[in-house]
């Protein structure tokens, strides 16, 4: 178990200045500006502090402070959302992670879903015991987001309607078809429901499969929403989609141009 070792007076003063001038995380650029030092020298300084146990390295050039009461530097992430924002900005927290935040599900998911305009090599990184699932999106679909406070910092999370839209676009972001449908049903029975906005968002996203899935699910679970169901039917694109691309689908619902698993076609 790695433990803290002593710092000289000059290093203590520098470290104190860096901790006062940063929030939650520490980057080389931030520390360089605070200390008025070249980036190369600052990087070496942060690395030395990490080796001595005063900082913990998250990724290259990104550190977090070790609490004084900690007996080890092997600490978990205090807030994975903040780390995601630092690593993948511009980005937002979405899918089941956002659904948890908006109380659209009682399920607990260990993995944090991040949608970003970056194209990282590792799409399923594990950072200090926290698993992430990274999806790349284009700049034009960075809409329907809310800024929320996480400690002293703000990060972006998809609003309830955008959260549902993303899961209708890719049920994997909801943990698969069953849990996606559960969250959808929770959404349409909650005060967060805004089907007009959902249609607007779907138009903006430009994924024709969303209207097929949305129309089918509304017809199944909210048949009184005839106006919105009609709008979905008007917006149907050519070709057939699948209710969930990850599942075998034996039944074609022709009015929705949608292949669905046999069990979901009933009732």
What pLDDT digit, counting tens, does each position of 142-191 carry? Answer: 999 999 999 888 999 999 999 999 999 999 999 999 999 999 999 999 99
For 45-70, what is the mean pLDDT?
A: 85
Convert the pLDDT of each residue in 71-129 to its tens digit.
555 666 788 999 999 999 999 999 999 999 999 999 999 999 999 999 999 999 999 88
Considering the domain architecture, whether residues 166 and 209 belong to the same structural domain is answered as: no
Of 131, 158, 193, the residue at which a domain comes to its end is: 193
Out of 19, 41, 65, pick the residue that ends a domain.
65
Q: Which domain holds residue 105?
A: 79-193
In-domain check, residue 84: yes
Residue 52 shares a structural domain with residue 86: no
Same structural domain, 93 and 47: no
Residues 60 and 86 in one domain: no
Residues 148, 104 within the same domain: yes
Verify that 50 and 98 share a domain, yes or no: no
Q: Number of structural domains, the chain?
A: 3
Tokens 């249609």, residue?
A: 199
Same domain, 44 and 140: no
Asked if residue 168 and residue 103 are part of one domain, the reply reads yes
Predicted TM-score of the model (pTM): 0.88
């Amino acid at each position: 178990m790695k433990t803290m070792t002593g710092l000289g007076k000059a290093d203590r003063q520098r470290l104190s200045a860096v901790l006062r001038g940063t929030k939650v995380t520490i980057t080389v650029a931030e520390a360089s500006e605070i200390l008025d030092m070249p980036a190369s020298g600052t990087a070496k300084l942060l690395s030395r502090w990490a080796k001595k146990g005063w900082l913990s390295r998250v990724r290259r050039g990104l550190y977090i402070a070790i609490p004084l009461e900690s007996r080890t530097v092997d600490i978990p992430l205090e807030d994975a959302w903040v780390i995601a924002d630092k690593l993948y900005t511009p980005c937002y927290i979405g899918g089941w992670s956002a659904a948890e935040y908006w109380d659209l599900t009682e399920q607990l998911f260990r993995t944090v879903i991040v949608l970003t305009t970056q194209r990282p090599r590792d799409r399923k990184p594990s950072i200090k015991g926290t698993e992430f699932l990274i999806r790349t999106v284009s700049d034009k679909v960075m809409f329907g987001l809310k800024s929320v406070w996480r400690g002293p910092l703000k990060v972006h999370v998809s609003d309830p309607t955008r959260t549902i839209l993303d899961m209708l676009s890719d049920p994997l972001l909801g943990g698969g078809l069953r849990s996606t449908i559960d969250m959808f049903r929770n959404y349409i029975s909650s005060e967060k429901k805004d089907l007009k906005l959902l249609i607007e968002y779907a138009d903006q996203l430009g994924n024709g499969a969303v209207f097929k899935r949305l129309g089918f699910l509304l017809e199944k679970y909210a048949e009184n929403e005839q106006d919105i169901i009609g709008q979905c039917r008007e917006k149907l694109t050519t070709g057939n989609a699948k209710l969930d691309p990850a599942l075998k689908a034996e039944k074609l619902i022709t009015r929705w141009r949608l292949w669905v698993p046999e069990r979901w076609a009933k009732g």
